[in-house]
Chain A
Amino acid sequence: MNPIFQGLITIVVGVGGCVGYFYFANLILDRFIFPAKGPEAGRNINRANQVRPWLFLFPAMFALSLYLVYPVFGSFIRSLYNRAGTEFIGFGNYLNLFGDSAFQTAFFNNFLWVLVVPAMATFLGLLVAQLTDRLAWGNIAKSLIFMPMAISFVGASLIWRFVYAADPDIGIINAIRVYFGAEALDPLQVPFWNNFFLMVILIWIQTGFAMVILSAALRGIPEETVEAAIIDGANPFQVFFRIKVPQIMGTIVVVWTTITILVLKVFDIVYAMTGGNFDTEILPSYMMDFMFRDDGRATAVAFVIMIVVLPVMIWNIVQARKEMR
């Protein structure tokens, strides 16, 4: 069968199935299980309304339990078994991990990523949001800055491989170095700093996200508070840092933590740029190294990542709920 045709059928069946589920489940509930007629019509309507949310939530809850909750427990159990999954070894995988210098490097690098990427992306996003706010061509600037969001991490990595290319005829960094008389080098092999060159890619992608959210938050600040501050004698910096930023602090925290969670998941950039060589390994890419080869160890790394993400996640959700109130 033609693959386009196949794809179309999949879309129709998928979307149609979803719509059909909600329509027919609702119909059956109202017509046959608790019909809104007869001597108990009023009571039936109330009962149907109590059942309806659960009926509609069921597909999502089912999929989430199957693909998220079950794997959490499954992974944990798997992480307690050996490489082949045949022998229970308790916390052996975890002990091995912490003894492995590659894991320690990945953990330390990941710590740097978590420290730098969310901070820089949020700061730059805030800066761009503020600077483009009153500009006539601000929206064009924002669209350009937002664009990297639409590129996959691997795609972005490919673009940046050109930027970082060691050949001065290809890589702009080396082109500039050579122009000023320095020797060409491979930025991705510069010890320690190569981590930051990789982080730049994710910052480049995430600044757009931070900008969009913070720009909306800045617009939500009552204009009078800014005018009152101007009359009170505040200069533009004071208005920004003492009046505007504190008022959108909740949103800043949400953006910050959301990017932090993302940072703890991204493996593609390291995978595509250095393959984890030159001491650039981070936890997710370290996990990828073992996946399908030593699943016990890979799941143990996955579990470490989950435990690290969990508190950030909780804080993120708490802040986001506060914002929505």
Chain B
Amino acid sequence: MADLKLTDVEKTYGGTVQVLRDINLDIDQGELIVFVGPSGCGKSTLLRMIAGLEKITGGELQIDGQVVNDVPPSERGIAMVFQSYALYPHMTVRDNMAFALKIAGKSKAEIDEAVNAAAAKLQLENFLDRLPKALSGGQRQRVAIGRSIVRDPKVYLFDEPLSNLDAALRVATRIEIAQLKEQMPESTMIYVTHDQVEAMTLASRIVVLAGGGVAQVGSPLTLYEKPNSTFVAQFIGSPAMNLLGGKIVGTGETTTLELEEGGGTITSHYPSKPEDMGAPVKVGIRPEDMTETDANDFAYHGTVEITEALGEVTLLYFQKSAPDHDPVIGKLSGIHKELRGQDVKLTAAPEKVHVFKDDISLLYRDETVFLPGVQPH
């Protein structure tokens, strides 16, 4: 039950290779923070630094107001759940869960009580005397979680705990973790994943890590509705947000935009300043926010090259304007196979249109925004 504070934390390997820099985060007690980011962004490294498995080469990590940079992992009050479960294969489930308490020299009665309580919480009572190899993947992951609960840590660390499970089990276990968090509202949890769905459903706040720094921190819906950069805009949401070239032709409370490449004129609810007039921008519209239109103030029009009818929605892939551009994607509800090969006009409501100048959202123009300088996917 604790808060965490990371101040200018950085990680350098061999004095030259910097993988993380300027990490500043305030994590409150009871939060479930999710680190997401493209592979190789350092999210697992950051988690391992908080755990104490990797040395912090710069900056300061505080848990409960105490600097723990040089405190050994076992004394930081953390527990970690590994992607590979990391169960001790030669010990029964009971011994796996009891190991930390045995090492700490707790009495047998205390250990039994803690283990039985955790087992009850995770429906593991019937498996306590089995070896890990006699358990299914989901059960093993529950034992791994049980092993951390038994220690009653201040902070739970999850390192991609669901990625070794199959799709159905992943959903079930994700819900179990959400319920577990509800049962323990006081516990602070940090969760690393590359799966957006996990991030969006579990997190109280998401930390988007990329290019060695923090791209944006915020609640799942903030990141979805108000991304601070084109990177976050394209990283959150699937399929990724369309970015269309354009320029500002009307400023004020709302912004009027003229689009290049087969586009018309549309309005965004983003405010702009008079000096923005004529500035080249990127206009971001999520595929699911696009609607078909006949009106003259459309956002984009082009020929549909491929349709993917998924039942509830249909994805429209438009012809690319240049070979190295990403195709514009539209997501219409219902089945629209007939649109293949057709010329289609799309538009979006003003509150769904995002405007980025120099890759930074106009909403965040007065803040320092970290641009990772890597591709989101």
Inter-chain CA distance A242–B74, complex, in Å, is 17
Q: How near does chain B come to A247, taking the closest CB pair, in angstroms?
A: 6
In the complex, which residues 94-126 of chain B have their Cβ closer than 8 Å to any Cβ of chain A?
Answer: 99-100, 103-104
Q: How near does chain A come to B253, taking the closest CB pair, in angstroms?
A: 53
Give the chain A neighbours of B83 by CB distance below 8 A. 224
Say yes or no for A229: interface residue by CB 8 A criterion. Answer: yes
- Which partner residue on chain A sits nearest B52 by CB separation? A231
Determine whether the beta carbon of A243 is less than 8 Å from that of B88. yes
Max chain B CB contacts within 10 Å: which of A232, A242, A243?
A232
Determine whether the beta carbon of A225 is less than 8 Å from that of B103. no
Q: Which of these, A227, A229, A238, A247, contacts B89 with CB under 8 Å?
A: A247
Max chain B CB contacts within 10 Å: which of A224, A246, A249?
A224
Give the chain B neighbours of A3 by CB distance below 8 A. none
- Which partner residue on chain B sits nearest A235 by CB separation? B103
Give the chain A neighbours of B100 by CB distance below 8 A. 231-233
Say yes or no for A36: interface residue by CB 8 A criterion. Answer: no
Determine whether the beta carbon of A228 is less than 8 Å from that of B103. no
Digit string of A223-258 for contact with B (CB within 8 Å is 1, else 0)? 011011111111000100011001101000000000
Determine whether the beta carbon of B90 is less than 8 Å from that of A231. no
Inter-chain CA distance A229–B74, complex, in Å, is 9
A231-B51, A232-B100 known; A225 and B86 CB under 8 Å?
yes
B-side interface mostly = loop
A-side interface mostly = helix
Determine whether the beta carbon of A234 is less than 8 Å from that of B103. yes
Say yes or no for B73: interface residue by CB 8 A criterion. Answer: yes
Inter-chain CA distance A222–B74, complex, in Å, is 19
Chain A interface category by residue count: 10 to 19
Determine whether the beta carbon of A231 is less than 8 Å from that of B78. yes
Inter-chain CA distance A242–B90, complex, in Å, is 9
Report which A residues bind B (CB closer than 8 A): 222, 224-225, 227-234, 238, 242-243, 246-247, 249
Inter-chain CA distance A222–B83, complex, in Å, is 12
Say yes or no for B80: interface residue by CB 8 A criterion. Answer: yes
A238-B103, A243-B88, A247-B90 known; A232 and B151 CB under 8 Å?
yes
Determine whether the beta carbon of B90 is less than 8 Å from that of A227. no
Interface size on B, residues (CB 8 A): 26
Determine whether the beta carbon of B84 is less than 8 Å from that of A222. yes
Say yes or no for B87: interface residue by CB 8 A criterion. Answer: yes
Q: How near does chain B come to A243, taking the closest CB pair, in angstroms?
A: 6
Inter-chain CA distance A129–B101, complex, in Å, is 29
Determine whether the beta carbon of A233 is less than 8 Å from that of B53. no
Determine whether the beta carbon of A233 is less than 8 Å from that of B74. yes
- Which partner residue on chain B sits nearest A228 by CB separation? B86
Inter-chain contact total with CB atoms closer than 8 Å: 60
Inter-chain CA distance A238–B91, complex, in Å, is 14
- Which partner residue on chain A sits nearest B104 by CB separation? A233
Give the chain A neighbours of B103 by CB distance below 8 A. 232-234, 238
Inter-chain CA distance A234–B51, complex, in Å, is 15
Q: How near does chain A come to B251, taking the closest CB pair, in angstroms?
A: 55
A sample of 11 inter-chain contacts (CB < 8 A) reads A222-B84, A224-B86, A225-B88, A227-B86, A228-B80, A228-B147, A231-B73, A232-B100, A232-B151, A234-B74, A234-B103
Give the chain B neighbours of A238 by CB distance below 8 A. 103
A232-B103, A233-B103 known; A227 and B87 CB under 8 Å?
no
Give the chain B neighbours of A247 by CB distance below 8 A. 88-90
- Which partner residue on chain B sits nearest A238 by CB separation? B103
Nearest 6 Cβ contacts at the A-B interface: A233-B74, A224-B86, A232-B100, A246-B90, A228-B86, A224-B82
Q: Which of these, B52, B72, B75, B88, contacts A228 with CB under 8 Å?
A: B88
Determine whether the beta carbon of B90 is less than 8 Å from that of A249. yes
Say yes or no for B79: interface residue by CB 8 A criterion. Answer: yes
Give the chain B neighbours of A246 by CB distance below 8 A. 88, 90-91
Give the chain B neighbours of A228 by CB distance below 8 A. 80, 82, 86-88, 147
Digit string of B40-73 for contact with A (CB within 8 Å is 1, else 0)? 0000000000011100000000000000000011
Inter-chain CA distance A247–B89, complex, in Å, is 7
Max chain B CB contacts within 10 Å: which of A228, A230, A243, A249?
A228
Determine whether the beta carbon of A229 is less than 8 Å from that of B79. no
Q: How near does chain A come to B137, taking the closest CB pair, in angstroms?
A: 15
Q: Which of these, B51, B53, B89, contacts A225 with CB under 8 Å?
A: B89
Q: Which of these, A229, A230, A233, A249, contacts B88 with CB under 8 Å?
A: A229
- Which partner residue on chain A sits nearest B78 by CB separation? A231
Max chain B CB contacts within 10 Å: which of A227, A247, A249?
A227
Q: How near does chain A come to B111, taking the closest CB pair, in angstroms?
A: 13
- Which partner residue on chain B sits nearest A223 by CB separation? B86
Q: Which of these, B74, B89, B104, contacts A230 with CB under 8 Å?
A: B74
- Which partner residue on chain A sits nearest B153 by CB separation? A231
Inter-chain CA distance A302–B100, complex, in Å, is 52
- Which partner residue on chain A sits nearest B76 by CB separation? A231
Q: How near does chain A come to B274, taking the closest CB pair, in angstroms?
A: 57
- Which partner residue on chain B sits nearest A224 by CB separation? B86
Q: How near does chain B come to A103, taking the closest CB pair, in angstroms?
A: 42
Supply 6 further A-B pairs (C-beta < 8 A) apart from A224-B86, A233-B100, A243-B88. A225-B87, A228-B147, A231-B74, A234-B103, A238-B103, A247-B88
Inter-chain CA distance A108–B151, complex, in Å, is 52
Determine whether the beta carbon of A231 is less than 8 Å from that of B99. no
